Structure 1
Amino acid sequence: MIDPIQKSVTVPLTPTEAFALFTSKMDLWWPKAGYSVGGAASKLHFPSHKNGEITETDAGGTTHVWGRVIACEPGAYVAFSWHPDRPESEATVVEMRSIATDTGTSCDLTHGGFDILGPTADAISTSYLHGWDIVLGCYRGAVKRRVFA
């Protein structure tokens, strides 16, 4: 059994702002050039409701489903299946909690369920271990640049 990946970043935003930036404003900060199916010109959509599909639409208009929202409590918690560029049957699960701190919000990400990937599980979980650092670094950078204001 592969342990879930746990990452955390604290940002100087309210939980509601931090949550909205991570979800509905994902297209503003996600590193699409290196972490998408269709490249930097793609558009990302993250729904704010249960069962909504997380999608990427590439420059040619083709939509790729990355996952589906499993649970959503705006401003506090979201859980979603995750399978960019893989079949839905190979979906892992990502959770993000937004927790108020004295200096802003702690955004605590957990990514698990890698065992569904069989023999490739270890390699894929290892790639996400580094990949989430890059992604959350872009998220933190968007906060510093106030791209969402």
Structure 2
Amino acid sequence: MLDPIVKTIEVPCDQQKAFTVFLDEMASWWPLDKFTTSMMKGAPAKSIKVDTREGGKIIEIGSDDSETLWGTITTYDPYGFFSMDFHIPGPPAFEVGKFSHVEVKFTKLAEQQTQVELTQTNLEVFEDMAEGVHGGYNFGWGLIFEQAYKEACSS
């Protein structure tokens, strides 16, 4: 069994803004020219749509206006917590209905200070590819979450 990927950061904004930036403003901070299915095909994504509710979808809008499901929100507790089944496609093994699970928890530390913890689990579902997928996501979240998202919360 693989250890979960856990990334914890502190951001210089209140809990509501931290939550809102993560979901509602995802297209503004996610590196669309690096970590998208469109880039796997050679072109940056145009945007990301997020339906912020339980059962809502997170969808990448490709350079050709195609839509790719990234995730389905499984728990939605505004400003405190959300979780999603993370479906980002890639190699063929990803495209057979297998997905990992991502949880993001927002904890108020002070008026303008929030701790945000991202945990990704269920990577074992990728079987022989699991260790490589784990390493890739661990690296990717460092750039996406610990850098790009944190910077977006700082502005």
TM-score over 0.5 (shorter chain): yes
**Preserved contact between residue 36 and residue 45 of structure 2 (Cα < 8 Å):** no
- Whether the 8 Å CA contact 1:67–1:88 is kept in 2: the answer is no
Gaps of 5+ in 1: none
SS at match of 1:90: coil
Please show how residues 31-42 of structure 1 align to structure 2 within 5 Å: 31-39=31-39, 40-42=44-46
Give the CA deviation at 1:143.
2.4
- CA 1:69–1:123 in structure 2 vs 1: closer, same or farther (change >3 Å)? same
**Cα offset, 1:59, TM superposition:** 2.1
Query: Which residue of the partner structure matches residue 116 of structure 1?
Result: 125
Q: What is the distance in 2 between the residues matched to 1:72 and 1:50?
A: 5
Residue 144 of structure 2: aligned partner: 135
Identity over aligned pairs, percent? 23
| Code of the aligned partner of 1:93 | H
Corresponding letter in the other structure for 2:73: V
Give 2:109's aligned residue: 101
Provide the C-alpha distance between the structure 2 equivalents of 1:119 and 1:12, rounded to a whole number of angstroms. Answer: 40
User: Structure 1 stretches (4+) deviating beyond 2 angstroms?
Assistant: none
Deviation at 1:41, TM superposition (A): 4.1
d(CA) in 1 for partners of 2:51 and 2:119?
19
RMSD (Å), alpha carbons: 1.3
Question: Which 5+ residue runs of structure 2 have no aligned equivalent?
Answer: none
Q: Deviations over 1:3-56 (max 9, x none)?
A: 110001111111111001001110000011110012434210122101111100
CA shift for structure 1 position 88? 6.1
Q: C-alpha distance in 2, partners of 1:11/1:105?
A: 5
Distance 1:114 1:35 in 2: 18
